Structure 1
């Protein structure tokens, strides 16, 4: 029954995709840096635009893609954001926010996203997670059935000063972080993975 509901929703919202204009990197903090300039690769998934295998999707292992990026001059801290701009909603779905990433850390792997303890938002990679749509560490991709290909943005953002430690540990939302990084963004980069779910 749920499959029928999803397929019906996909038909109703077939044109409700491509919310790129509402992406996190379109906010005021990125006015001086409108385009990505930091190269990012994914050793385990492939080049930018790669198709995500079931291991990286909801219902599979739900793995976080391995990401590697280059450093930039003046970076004091990194911020990582994952979102789906093709969900049939007014704004992209936030799949994950990761804060307080050390400036010398230039890669993440799936094992970095394990929670150290139930009482802390700190992860095994040494950074913290914020609030996503499901109040979890990470939401693996799960496009609506027959809604076509969804893209998943993984944006690494270079900040010229660290965020306040209390903010980092407070599990902030996408909107809260958007305000906190005003005047602090010096560069960013994007790796995109894509996938779809089909049912006939």
Structure 2
């Protein structure tokens, strides 16, 4: 299997950097093209920190702890994680989280555990949407020898809450992109990075 991955890495060596197709490049962000909310990760470090094995697929698959500042007018938060360096036409959505209370200004790994297997509500009091594997979160797993992959963790401030039925319905990335049109007032990004090498 390693040979297959390394061959794919060679074939798609230039298929990286899909930043122009990131979630925050959609129409909802036309008035807010740049991040203005500062996000920190107490357990991983500064923006651009290297993610340790415990945060990757094959390790514990932990979600990085994130903290951010509030902004005036926020009524609800949205959080999305993407890999823009995957060799695909658009970034891989690793996780999308909806209905985050306006007063919640941090998340930890334990927030992303499911309250009930039959519901999409998580311990943090918010809900998860559909990612590539229809799971709560996909830990980073870059192709072997494909170089460093960046993982965006974007927090988005909305000026009104999303519809409760939409939040609980496990919507897709594209569905949420439409739902937030006219509701984005600010956003911020923390980026972690890692790679997998076959020695």
What TM-score do you get using the length of structure 1 for normalisation? 0.99
Matches within 5 A, 1:6-155: 6-155=5-154
What is the alpha-carbon distance in structure 1 between the residues aligned to residue 75 and residue 185 of structure 2? 10
Query: Equivalent residue of 2:34, what SS?
Result: coil
Query: Equivalent residue of 1:7, what SS?
Result: helix
Gaps of 5+ in 2: none
Q: Give the length in aligned residue pairs.
A: 199
Query: Equivalent residue of 1:21, what SS?
Result: helix
What is the alpha-carbon distance in structure 2 between the residues aligned to residue 118 and residue 141 of structure 1? 23
Q: Aligned-residue CA RMSD in angstroms?
A: 0.3
> Which stretches of structure 1, 4 residues or longer, exceed 3 Å deviation after superposition?
none
Structure 1 residue 84: Cα displacement: 0.1
Gaps of 5+ in 1: none
Which residue is 1:184 aligned to? 183
What is the alpha-carbon distance in structure 2 between the residues aligned to residue 96 and residue 118 of structure 1? 17
Which residue is 2:167 aligned to? 168
Provide Cα deviations, 1:10-60, integer angstroms capped at 9, x if missing partner: 000000000000000000000000000000000000000000000000000
Provide Cα deviations, 1:122-170, integer angstroms capped at 9, x if missing partner: 0000000000000000000000000000000000000000000000000
Query: Equivalent residue of 1:15, what SS?
Result: coil
What is the alpha-carbon distance in structure 1 between the residues aligned to residue 3 and residue 101 of structure 2? 45
Structure 1 residue 118: Cα displacement: 1.0
What is the alpha-carbon distance in structure 2 between the residues aligned to residue 26 and residue 182 of structure 1? 12
What is the alpha-carbon distance in structure 1 between the residues aligned to residue 39 and residue 115 of structure 2? 26
Query: Equivalent residue of 2:78, what SS?
Result: strand
What TM-score do you get using the length of structure 2 for normalisation? 1.00
